[in-house]
Amino acid sequence: MGQILAVQCHSSARLDGKIAVITGANTGIGKTTAKDFYKRGARVILACRDVTRANEAIKDIKDQCEGEENLGELVCVKLDLSSLSSVRNCSEELLKSEKCINILVNNAGIAGVPYKKTTDGFEMTFQTNYLGHFLFTLLLMPLLIKGRPARIVNVTSMLHAFMWSSFDLSDLNFENRKYGDMRAYMESKLCNILFTKELTRKLSENDIDGITVYAPHPGAVRTEGGRYLDESYFRGMYWLWLHVLGLFYKSPELGAQTTIYCSVDEQCANETGLYYSECKPTEPSAYAKDEKLAKDLWNLSLKYVNLENYNPFQKL
């Protein structure tokens, strides 16, 4: 009923022997992506805030795939993107346990969150959707370099293009302007595209080949991403979004297709730094193409996570 038609990834590429890390993989698009990689033979690491739910997701995926051949491996690690110390701990654990990373999918995200700062002092949506992923990616770069050819997939949203006022970096934490939960979401998703652009440039600048970076927009998807709407001034909207409007949204299975495409499809293997919708490159907003903005965000982010003197592009 009312299901939006969507393009699907038809790649039959196998991931045997490959290692993939997916944030927020216990539900929605992340869980669907984990299942897809598992069926392709990958060792899939579900990096999740709630380890209990991650293990439940692993059991469910295994149950759904029971009897199938050439499956991979599913494991979980604890990652709370709203805590930079958790990001560092998870990264350190992976650096010790994994020989490399071939695919990193920065998928976890929240929307509709009432104003709140993390223990690190940043606005919750900004840190969870963007800044935590920024730190996670840079700390895991040695494993991605070892895993070449490797792909980094930063899940974003078309809503990055719907901001109703100018975007600048002077008040990302909403300390000097009125907070809007959807505005915070839009800005965090714009940051993911700017990060994709600047990371691509930095990789080239440091002569790191074999790592491609993508920013897919999944479309309107019926997931738990809007669960915080019930706690905000949109109280009751989550029920409406989930049970009424959700009937016209993509299922997580369809919503994951562009993420999967960017992660595995041979057609985009040599593309990098682009924004995708429905399994093909498309144009993002003017802000998302602003090179100076991308550079300034990169430098500010390094300062925020105390990596100003760290070189993530060392070939170990």
234 or 292, which is more confident: 292
171: pLDDT strictly greater than 60: yes
How many CB atoms are closer than 10 A to CB 65? 15
Q: What Rg, from alpha-carbon coordinates, does the chain have?
A: 18
Complete DSSP assignment for the chain = --PPP----------TT-EEEEETTTSHHHHHHHHHHHHTT-EEEEEES-HHHHHHHHHHHHHHTTT-SS--EEEEEE--TT-HHHHHHHHHHHHHH-S--SEEEE-----SPPS-B-TTSSBHHHIIIIIHHHHHHHHTHHHHHHT-SEEEEE---GGGGG-SS---STTTT-SSS---HHHHHHHHHHHHHHHHHHHHHHHHHTT--SEEEEEEE--SB-SSTTGGGGGSTTTTHHHHHHHTGGGGSBPHHHHTHHHHHHHH-GGGTT--SEEEETTEEE---TGGG-HHHHHHHHHHHHHHTT-TT--TT---
Confidence of residue 220 (pLDDT cuts 50, 70, 90): low
229: pLDDT strictly greater than 80: no
pLDDT recorded at residue 235: 44
Mean pLDDT of 12-19: 98
pLDDT recorded at residue 250: 54
Block residue for tokens 């100018």: 166
47-83 per-position pLDDT tens digit: 999 999 999 999 999 999 999 999 999 999 999 999 9
Q: Which CATH class is domain 19-222+251-304?
A: alpha beta
159-168 per-position pLDDT tens digit: 888 887 789 8
Buried b vs exposed e over 276-301: b needs ≥16 C-beta within 10 Å? bbbbebeebbebbebeebbeebbeeb
98-156 per-position pLDDT tens digit: 999 999 999 999 999 999 999 999 999 999 999 999 999 999 999 999 999 999 999 99
pLDDT recorded at residue 51: 97
Q: What is the mean pLDDT of the chain?
A: 90
Task: Determine the Cα–Cα distance for residues 138 and 259; give it in Å rounded to an integer.
Answer: 20
195: pLDDT strictly greater than 90: yes
243-275 per-position pLDDT tens digit: 444 444 557 687 899 999 999 999 999 999 999
Mean pLDDT of 7-18: 95
82-101 per-position pLDDT tens digit: 999 999 999 999 999 999 99
Q: Identify the weakest region by mean pLDDT among 205-209, 248-252, 310-314.
A: 248-252
pLDDT recorded at residue 202: 97
pLDDT recorded at residue 161: 85
pLDDT recorded at residue 315: 64
pLDDT recorded at residue 226: 47
> Percent of the chain at pLDDT above 90?
81
- Note if 185 is an active site residue: yes
Task: Determine the Cα–Cα distance for residues 54 and 22; give it in Å rounded to an integer.
Answer: 11
Q: Which of 185, 238, 249, 275 is catalytic?
A: 185
> Percent of the chain at pLDDT above 70?
87
237: pLDDT strictly greater than 50: no
Contact 175, 118 (CB under 8 A): no
| Single-letter amino acid code for the residue at 191 | C
HSE, CB side, 13 Å, CA atoms: give it for residue 147: 25
